[in-house]
Chains A and B, each alone.
Chain A
């Protein structure tokens, strides 16, 4: 099973700042990695798939990069609604599809 490790666990930033979240895989997942955003009481929302492709309706300030075992999600300029928990997820080696443990992006 592919283990995804996200860092940092918590990231404290201010609106307007740039956020970079990391996800490391225990083995190569090629580019088969997605990012989700989750707000309290809500289901996860797909942001990015296949490392860098934005899902429908996702603003251009969200971007993804990486390959193999190291990936990142960048939010170029934080909006108030971006403060949430972010998860990475792989579909390269399954079953099972696996998720990271999450990074909480909080307002500084």
Chain B
């Protein structure tokens, strides 16, 4: 059974960088899946941030493209999210998720989510 677990600071200062890691267990991050980050806030609902393939290819949502980086570490079987120049609008629960292998863009496994608050 694949499991995903987010980790990282729960509090980030405005203009700082949000950094989260998603540890994958019960499966390999080098499998033929795209790995995504999704966030959820009361004001904006569920918002897809971006995805990465084991080859290192990435695709980001246009609205965050200038501030987001997703990377992957095969040796640690995890992938990471970096979001720069954060504001209060980036306060949300952040989820990592696995895209279905044969139906990219749907998410069959999710982490439990981690709340990140942007505040001074």
Contact = CB atoms under 8 A, between A and B. Distances in A.
A46 B48 CA distance: 15
Chain A's interface: helix, strand, loop or mixed, by majority? loop
A34 B104 CA distance: 12
Q: What's the interface size class on B, roughly?
A: 20 to 34
B45 A91 contact: no
Among B62, B104, B107, B111, which residue has the most Cβ atoms of chain A within 10 A?
B107
A97 B105 contact: yes
Among A46, A56, A100, which residue has the most Cβ atoms of chain B within 10 A?
A46
A55 B95 CA distance: 20
Given A95-B60, A96-B62, A43 B110 contact: yes
Contacts of B105: 32, 91, 94, 97
Nearest to B48: A97
B104 A91 contact: yes
B112 interface: yes
Interface string B77-120: 00000000000000000010100100111111011110000000
A95 B103 contact: no
Given A43-B111, A44-B110, A99 B104 contact: no
B45 A101 contact: yes
A46 B109 CA distance: 8
A64 interface: no
Given A49-B103, A89-B106, A44 B46 contact: yes
Contact of A95 (B62, B95, B106, B111): B62
A55 B100 CA distance: 10
Given A49-B100, A89-B106, A91-B105, A99 B112 contact: no
A56 B103 CA distance: 14
Interface of A: 1, 32, 34, 36, 42-46, 49-50, 55-56, 87, 89, 91, 94-102
11 contacts: A32-B105, A43-B110, A46-B100, A46-B108, A49-B103, A56-B108, A91-B106, A95-B62, A96-B63, A98-B48, A100-B45
